Structure 1
Amino acid sequence: MAKQLEEAVEAIVEDIVRDSAMEVVDVEYVKERDWYLRVYLDKEGGIEIDDCQRVSEELEKILDEKDLLNEAYILEVSSPGLDRTLKKARDFEREQGKMVEVTFYAPVDGEKIWVGTLTGYDREKNAIVLDGEREIFLEKTAQVRLHIDF
């Protein structure tokens, strides 16, 4: 059910931001202590608080009208952050040439985390390439995110 709701909300937000420079990066509906509906947006130069507020207000109004959520929830609209998680094909295609951190479910070559430059993405194989040589099938990964050196 969460996946269907996330997809429905993503379609609504895509309509809201259609005529702007913003893009929908991700939508999550997760149970922590409470239910959270999180919408992550981005645009060239970064998202501003006014962008988040506008989308939040419009989305809240539409969600109330459509009555899509049965339980109480907390709506959060924000930027995905500098170390954003990469999930979709467009993420892997857009972020090529950048450093990523790949976390595996189980160790691969003795390591659970690999860091390298994202140099390729194969839609058919659903695999990424690190450093021009290491092919990683995404079903073996727990998470792929942009890597930030501190």
Structure 2
Amino acid sequence: MSNNVTEKTEELVLPILERLDLELVDIEFEKEGKNWFLRVFVDKTGGVDIEECGQVSEQLSEKLDAEDPVTFPYFLEVSSPGVERPLKKKKDFENNIGNNVYVKLYEPLHDSKEFEGVLKSYEDEVAVLEIKIKTRKKEIEIPFDKIAKARLAVTFN
């Protein structure tokens, strides 16, 4: 059911985002405690502000009410993905070369399932990360289909 709701929400929100020149980052539909939450994460170069999130929320809410893909009470939240933005699409990787990222894999690679480092390149569905092992830097290649989760990672220097 959650898949149908996210698919229908994506179908409804994409024309709204196109008009507002915003990008869809992710949609989540999940239960927390007794409540259901439909979360839509949007972004644009330079970031989104609260007014843009409000516009999307208002317009999407009207469409969701008309289409009614969820037959029980839920909360709609439209927001920015924040500084640790998820990287879900290949385009997300291409647009974040040079940034620090955290990657979690489905299965171990080089004896680890988690890596954090600088995304050096993304070509032919392979992400190249420069990671630090103690004081040494090493580049590792990670195939896109092995990545379970990825996001930008905040670093404190």
Give the TM-score of the pair, scaled to structure 1: 0.86
Q: Which runs of 5+ in 1 are unaligned?
A: none
Alpha-carbon displacement from aligned partner over 1:116-137 (angstroms, at most 9, x marks no partner):
22233346xx442213942213
**Secondary structure of 1:63 counterpart:** helix
Give the length in aligned residue pairs. Answer: 148
Question: In structure 1, what is the equivalent of residue 78 of structure 2?
Answer: 77
Q: State the Cα distance separating 1:105 from its structure 2 match.
A: 4.1
Q: Which amino acid aligns with 2:128?
A: V
Indicate yes or no: 2:146 matched with 1:140: yes
Structure possessing the higher radius of gyration over alpha carbons: 2
Question: In structure 2, what is the equivalent of residue 9 of structure 1?
Answer: 9
Question: In structure 2, what is the equivalent of residue 65 of structure 1?
Answer: 66
Structure 1 vs Structure 2 CA RMSD: 2.0
Give the TM-score of the pair, scaled to structure 2: 0.82
Question: In structure 1, what is the equivalent of residue 133 of structure 2?
Answer: none
Structure 2 contact 119–127 (Cα < 8 Å) conserved: yes
Q: State the Cα distance separating 1:27 from its structure 2 match.
A: 1.0
Structure 1 contact 100–118 (Cα < 8 Å) conserved: yes
Q: Using the alignment, how far apart are the partners of 2:46 and 2:121 within structure 1?
A: 25
Q: State the Cα distance separating 1:75 from its structure 2 match.
A: 0.7
Question: In structure 1, what is the equivalent of residue 49 of structure 2?
Answer: 48
Q: Using the alignment, how far apart are the partners of 2:55 and 2:74 within structure 1?
A: 19
Gap change, CA 1:14 and 1:120, over 3 Å in 2: same
Q: Using the alignment, how far apart are the partners of 2:56 and 2:32 within structure 1?
A: 23
